Structure 1
Amino acid sequence: MNPYDIPVLAAVLEGASRLIEQLSSLLDPLAGASAAALAIVVVTLLVRAVLVPVGVSQRRAQRTRARLAPRIRSLQQRHRSDPARLERELSALYASEKASPLAGCLPVLAQAPVLAVVYAVFSLPMIAGHANPLLAHSLAGAPLGQGLVAAAGAGSLPGLAVCGIVVAVVLLLVVLTRRLQQRTATLDLGSSAAVGLPGGPGFGRALSWLPLVSVVFAALAPLAAALYLATSMGWTLVERTILAVALPV
């Protein structure tokens, strides 16, 4: 059974498709043939605006981890020969402070369902039993349902150009966001910040490069999903810059 035929999921996709179509119609006088692409940007900004409290919570969690850094290092030194005991002590410490070492993942997790819906509505030929009208939309001649890899396979020059630019923007935003994190983080990404996380310091270093997966996703996903990702990452960069000043560690 196709999971997209499940009634609840089909209803969600149909609702999302109609929302984007209606928003595209409203934006048509402003953006013309690229109205659907602009609609994706608008939807992304609305979602991120709703998630501002999550970003603030993430920043406060980072401040808490920075404040706990001396105690974390003390526990690390005291129980370095007993990883199980160290994990228990760190878990108790985070619980007592109502902090989570994985709080930084909240914005990504909160957006995952929206990104999945955008991906689906711009990749499925049929939605709720009827043809998907969103696949007819484009950005500067590049179909919103076609990604960089697909455009390369089809030999589509507009697709290669537009998708290539969006993927390059995603890569640039990944690099800039990581540099911002390195400048504002009080705890080293490879030591204290990773203590208590599954896999220890090595996991922490790997986690710091996890956003590079976004570049691969942007290259493989439909242009609409890559556009959502680029807009969201741009918001993240601006939001973290503001919060770093407003809520210094």
Structure 2
Amino acid sequence: MPSFLEAPITGAYQLVSFVASALEPVGGPYAAALAIVVCTLAVRLLLLPLSLAAVRGEKSRAVLMPQIQEISKKHAKNPERAQQEIAKLQADSGTTLLAGCLPMFAQLPFFWVLYTLFTRAVVGGEPNDLLSGTLFGAPIGVHWPVFATTPAYVGLALLLAVVAFFSARRQLARLDASATPMSRNLARLLPFGTLLTAAFIPLAAGLYLLTTTTWTVVERTILLR
């Protein structure tokens, strides 16, 4: 791995290790898992301005939707002209489709660092002590076995499914009558992609995924009332 990529991993290791050490008196063997949750919440707090911008953009797009639909209908035979008109409308209103994706894109580096951190036995030339952390008997550095019956994996799967259910319900509720069947199916199914993702990442990264998706559902429920 290039040396410039080692710095964030080493820094993350030191940070998570520090938080885990601080939580050890109350967390015991779960200190590393709790540290992941705490660090994830800290990341989401740092990204809150982007989330607020995304919510403002979503509300603005909802206001513009009747005009967007009118433009699409007016230039149905000229999709390129319709896209130009819609882009101009969004530019004039200060609305951009990208704003809604900013929190997700901004989290990708954090997710990559955490994934890498819990898939390496050595970090910064030293043994990765975080891999000794457990959650209900399951090492947080191992991947999720597809047919595992360990309580940690079963609990993670159930919680991810619950969060995905509420996320899907919220997205479906925000679709208007003009939404296509494909859009509704995507809104219904995409949130459950977290279950598939969790099958290919360490338990530690699964904890990050559970914490951040839960934050997103709660955050959007509060801000998009």
TM-score > 0.5 by shorter chain: yes
- Deviation string 1:133-190 (CA, Å, 9 cap, x unpaired) is 211111111100112227x4xxx65xx321221122112111101212332x264583
Q: CA deviation at 1:213?
A: 2.3
Of 169, 192, 198, 1:218 maps to 198
Report which stretch shifted further, 124-133 or 226-235: 124-133
- Inter-partner Cα distance in structure 2 for 1:77 and 1:217: 38
Please tell me whether the aligned partners of residues 148 and 164 of structure 1 are also in contact (alpha carbons under 8 angstroms). no
- Aligned twin of 2:151: 161
What is the identity, as a one-letter code, of the residue corresponding to 1:63? K
Give unmatched runs, 5+ long, in structure 2.
none
1:146 to 142, 147, 171: 142
Q: For the residues of structure 2 that align with 1:12 and 1:68, how far apart are their CA atoms?
A: 41
User: Structure 1 residues 123, 228: CA separation in 2 closer, same or farther (over 3 Å shift)?
Assistant: same
Q: Alpha carbon RMSD of aligned pairs, Å?
A: 2.0
After superposition, where does 1:1-249 map in structure 2 within 5 Å? 3=1, 6-149=2-145, 152=147, 157=149, 160-183=150-173, 185=174, 187=176, 190=179, 202=182, 204-205=183-184, 208=187, 209-245=189-225
Q: 1:130 to 1:188 in 2, by over 3 A?
A: farther
Q: Secondary structure at the match of 2:190?
A: coil
- Preserved contact between residue 172 and residue 184 of structure 2 (Cα < 8 Å): no
Distance 1:69 1:124, change over 3 A: same
Following the alignment from structure 1 to structure 2, what is the Cα–Cα distance between the partners of residues 149 and 49? 32
Q: Is the 8 A contact 1:17 1:121 kept in 2?
A: yes
Shift of 1:72: 0.5
Q: Percent identity?
A: 36
Tell me how many residue pairs correspond in the alignment: 224
Name the aligned partner's letter for residue 239 of structure 1. Answer: E
Aligned-pair distance for 1:223?
A: 0.5
**How far apart, CA to CA, are the structure 1 residues paired with 2:152 and 2:178?**
34
